Amino acid sequence: MSDIVIKLENISKQYRLGLVGTGTLSHDLNRWWAKIRGKEDPTAKVGARNVLDQVDSKYVWALKDINLEVKEGTVLGIVGKNGAGKSTLLKLLSRVTAPTTGEIKIKGRIASLLEVGTGFHPELTGRENIFLNGAILGMTKNEIKSKFDQIVEFSGVKKYIDTPVKRYSSGMHVRLAFAVAAHLDPEILIVDEVLAVGDAEFQRKAIGKMKDVSVSGRTVLFVSHNLTAVEQLCNRGALIENGRLSMTGDVREILSTYKKRSVETGVFKRYGAGNVTFESFMIQDSSGKETDQVELGQNLTVISKIHCSQNLDYTDLSLDIKSENNEFIGHVTSLDDDFEIKDMKAGDTMNVAIELCDIPFAPGTYYISLWLGNKYGTFDFLENCMRFQVLQGDSFLKRPYPFDKRAKVALRSNWKKP
């Protein structure tokens, strides 16, 4: 495998929906005996085809035909919407479950953190669970002893180390579990979304620790819906859609594609009471043409059509802008310009144009969220429902070189010799 430490060949994972057994022990034993002899399932209906080929299948493919190679030292971020198969893939790599078809080749010791408190016994203390969990992960007793103080210090639960973990909060569980896994010094570290349970300070520590692991030449596989953390930590990305590996490559390209597809397919968060809702929305340039691009320093206008389903005294409308890394960039609201949306009757519609002037954002990709509501609550909220790009152009600043990627806004400046 040379410098390849993980290789997946035609990996698929199938689960059966509903009842797993046939309903009786004798039938289960007959089916098992037929299977090991290579015979047909004696409990299957006469003349029935493979249930996987049927529309009303009782089986589901959580993963299908996954081929992937991960090189040593790679920090791979795996993204995809809920139910795409990300966690199933990590369970296969961690040998928690076996693939239905295909082969997995792994070179090196793996430490996995898939669920809060995996391998912890609730009746044992934190101290006892460190030794138990460490042993499960392949550490010797001497290894655990030598790193015990580091583990406890990193986890931040020193005060409760001799308390049964059944009394720990979910955050304390995950901090201690991650501390054990991270200090195993594995060749491969696999981390699922569990870090979302920890507080902001611990998440920073955890990401820092994973960076240390990767810098030392080890391999990290990281699944998270926190795309900012994925971009900060990872150098490669993989996008999983509907159980299939859609694409791999540079992590920025993967995240950009994932976000773009989420917007294009309408996969954005929406909630609210529904008293008044957004019927449509789009971005226009200064000439009134629909667009998803604007040059730095130019104006853009967001046109929205709202529909009232019941008599309404008033509602406010606000617009948020976030960067591609989900960082909050700016906010405008109808209250800023004393713009009123009030006295609407059931069935009324209204078009609202919001012009954003002299866009100062550094070149890059941005997302717009829309909100309708008042002091009594939210009527309709569309998160990241529109996507647009800011281009460098020459209408704001003339630069022969690209902007620093760290910049969030473009600053005007005057240079002189006083």
Give yes or no for a contact between 416 and 402, defined as CB atoms under 8 angstroms apart. no
Please write the tens of the pLDDT for every residue from 27-38: 566 766 776 766
Please write the tens of the pLDDT for every residue from 255-275: 878 877 776 666 678 889 998
Q: Which of the two residues, 74 and 43, has the higher pLDDT score?
A: 74
Which domains are delineated in the chain?
4-19+54-263 (3.40.50.300), 270-391 (2.70.50.60)
pLDDT over 70, % of the chain: 82
Residue 31's CB: how many other CB atoms inside 10 A?
Answer: 17
351 has a pLDDT exceeding 90: yes
197 has a pLDDT exceeding 60: no
User: How high does pLDDT run on average in the chain?
Assistant: 81
194 has a pLDDT exceeding 80: no
Closest CA to 384 of 276, 268, 287, 233: 268
Confidence of residue 226 (pLDDT cuts 50, 70, 90): confident
Confidence of residue 348 (pLDDT cuts 50, 70, 90): very high
What number is the average pLDDT over the span 370-387? 91
Range name among 54-68, 156-170, 212-226, 280-294 with the lowest pLDDT average: 54-68
pLDDT score for 28: 64
- Range with the largest mean pLDDT of 113-117, 206-210, 296-300: 296-300
**Amino acid (1-letter code) at residue 130:** I
